[in-house]
Amino acid sequence: MRINWSCCRQLVSIQKLLKVRAGGLHTTTRQLSNSTQARNEEGKREDSIEKDEWTNVTATIERLTHRKLLSNPAHPLSILRDIIFSKFPEREYTRANFPNPRVSVYENFDSLNFAPDHIGRSKTDTYYLNKHEVLRTHTSAHQVESFRVHPTPGFLVAADVYRRDEIDRTHYPAFHQMEGGRWWSPEGMSSVKEFVAKIEADTAKIPVSGIKIVDDTLPFHDGNPRQDGQSPEVCIALTNHLKRSLERVVGEIFENIADGDPSATKEPLQIRWIDATFPFTSPSWEMEVYWQGDWLELFGCGVTQQRVFEQAGHPERVGWAVGLGLERLAMVLFGIPDIRLFWSEDPRFLEQFTPGVVNAFKPFSKYPGTYRDVAFWLKDGTTPEQFHDNDLMDIVREVAGDLVENVSLIDKFTHPKTKRNSLCYRVLFQSMERTLYNDEINVLQDNIRETLKIKFGVELR
Ligand code: PHE
């Protein structure tokens, strides 16, 4: 789903009215050793990468892995993380920290039941350090370890994640997610009924959100099945706990906006559950919010696959997990119009925010953008489908970094006689911080064209 974020600017007025105060933000975090850190303890340098034919991490991406935006408590992403964390009791949910985004293919995919041919594993979508290691594509990479080690029945993780992606105002190859999980063990229970009653009692403790959330989904059905071996009562009890926990978080966040938003009465806030599919949960759902004309995905979640608990060494447990992207929600809440701003080191951005407070971002003047087209013939015998957009995106990022707001394919053409294929991409240059000069843009454009020629053997037009 593509979202038009141009509407975000209008939010600013709403945001002025909005002040969310989050209590108890300064939580303790446990440092965990993921497998990479364990290896580091054995003396291997953290940054040593054994390259092979899978390696596709670029220098630009590597630099982003050192930025650690979430360690600044006054960064809007940290403020949002802390607000969300504050809705989960600390004695029940351990806050875990995984500072190193470098994880094994096992942690990111295999442990989570991803099929060997799952599209998410492809080199066009994922940054590989080598055949065995990736930059985590989601915080779910830490589910197994988190379910394995914590003394509490729940955990929360927030971290940077990486995906090869297009370039526009809502997509960036590095972004942030938070993961949550909660488990129960039937040990010591005399019956399923008693076990279900325990889960239901925990559900009853969660405050009910006052906001209306549409739920037309079924507890489970053929298209979104209950797991073999899990009783319907347990599956439903887990689902209720999951949905109530997440409705509370979203409800309390959006309730504040709705209160302060004069347009909220004209267009009531709509939030809904829909069915989803993930390899590591079943049944699974997503929550979406209708925001200025589009359904915007807030998070994915579901009843944890037993295979995950088996991998974690606790096959008897049952539970749920959720994964939530922080950037989109932060864009809505703070009225931040472009995802690149989160990475800005400009004090005019960073100095606008205070820990614990959601305030409206005040845009600094918008500097004019200007575009250049990059057109080329693909190598003989190469179809447009064989040339992947993300390969061009990474070249653009290497050459021009955050000076590019958007890259889009504007023309695709097959020569009627020679059958050669031509592509044309439009690159929109625009800085968040200053005016760009034509001369420097021309140099960048030439550089992008030359790199394309060298790397992909294209013929420039
Ligand atoms: N990891 C999933 C994603 O990035 C989200 C998710 C997390 C879904 C946990 C279910 C449970 O899309």
CA 190 / ligand 1 centre spacing (Å):
33
Q: Which helix (H) or strand (E) holds 11?
A: helix 8-16
Cβ atoms of 117 and 57 closer than 8 Å = no
Q: 34 alpha carbon to ligand 1 midpoint, in Å?
A: 19
Q: Which atom of ligand 1 is nearest to the CA of 140?
A: 1
Substitution site in 1, 125, 140 for ligand 1 pocket (most atoms within 8 Å of beta carbon): 140
Ligand 1 midpoint to CA 7 (Å): 27
Backbone angles phi, psi at 403, to 5 degrees: -80, 0
Nearest Cα residue to atom 7 of ligand 1: 323
Q: Ligand 1: which of 98, 119, 137, 138 to mutate, judged by most atoms within 8 Å of the beta carbon? A: 138
Instruction: Give pLDDT tens digits for 301-345.
Output: 999 999 999 999 999 999 999 999 999 899 988 989 899 999 999
Q: Read off the pTM.
A: 0.84
pLDDT at 34: 47
103 forms beta bridges with: 134
Find the 300 Cα to ligand 1 centroid distance in Å: 5
Question: pLDDT, tens digit, for every residue of 236-265?
Answer: 999 999 999 999 999 888 876 654 444 444
Q: Which atom of ligand 1 is nearest to the CA of 301?
A: 10
Q: What is the SS3 assignment for 416? A: coil
Q: Determine the atom of ligand 1 nearest the C-alpha atom of 139.
A: 1
- Ranges in the chain, pLDDT < 50: 1-45, 259-266
What pLDDT, on the 0 to 100 scale, is given for residue 268? 64
- Residues 32, 33, 36, 42, CA torsion sign: positive
Q: Which atom of ligand 1 is nearest to the CA of 323?
A: 7
DSSP category for residue 402: G
- Which residue from 6, 1, 2 is spatially nearest to 292, judged by alpha carbons? 6
User: Which pLDDT belongs to residue 4?
Assistant: 31
| Atom 6, ligand 1: residue with shortest CA distance | 323
Q: Cite the DSSP H helix spans in 42-104.
A: 59-64, 76-85
Spatial CB neighbours of 270, under 8 Å, sequence gap ≥ 6? 214, 289, 290
Rounded CA separation 84/326 (Å): 10
pLDDT of residue 209: 81
Pocket around ligand 1 at a 6 A CB cut-off: 138, 140, 278, 281, 284, 300-302, 321-323
Given a contact cutoff of 8 angstroms between Cβ atoms, the answer to whether 273 and 242 are in contact is no
As a whole number of angstroms, the distance between CA 70 and CA 77 comes to 7
> What pLDDT score was predicted for residue 365?
78
Give dist(CA 392, CA 298) in Å, integer: 28
157/32 Cα distance (integer angstroms): 11
